[in-house]
Amino acid sequence: MLKAAPHDIEAEGNDAKLLDELRKLRRLHRDSQQHPHAMKLTTGQRIADTVAATMGSWRFIIIQSVFLAIWIVLNITAYVQQWDPYPFILLNLALSFQAAYAAPFIMMSQNRQQDIDRKSAEHDYQVNVKAELEIELLHQKIDALREAEILQLTKAVNALATQLSAR
């Protein structure tokens, strides 16, 4: 049977250490997934998520569109006293204020989601590395079994050859 080179033995030791670390991380990740209260949001994070979810919904867009249409129609037709005539400066000011005020909330929510996505990608990478190492270990075991089988077959062939030559 073939002997492993010293650097191969060292690499196997590093692989085993890495596998142990990845298994521990997987257990920790699994435990944190099973306990939803482990990820508690701050008040600011909850507000940012609520604002982003509200402003990013079809309900908000429809309500705001209806409100804007009513505002414009009432000011164009002069049904009620025109409080914001045609260039709609007051409407522009209100929409600009809304956009300027909502943008930081939305960005905070997106940053938090980006952090969650980054952690998920790191976890996926660790799972992929673990799978690769596990497959590599399986290949090594199969190669060792194959070498042992070849060694046994070689011995059997040699034994048969000596029996045939003895006759």
Average pLDDT, the chain: 86
pTM for this prediction: 0.58
- Give tens-digit pLDDT for 76-119: 887 667 788 888 999 999 999 999 999 999 999 999 999 999 99
CA 127, CA 114: separation in Å to the nearest integer?
20
CA 139, CA 132: separation in Å to the nearest integer?
10
Mean pLDDT of 61-73: 94
| Cα distances (angstroms) measured from residue 148 to each of 8, 14, 145 | 19, 25, 5
Most confident of 3-7, 35-39, 42-46: 42-46
% of the chain residues with pLDDT over 70: 85
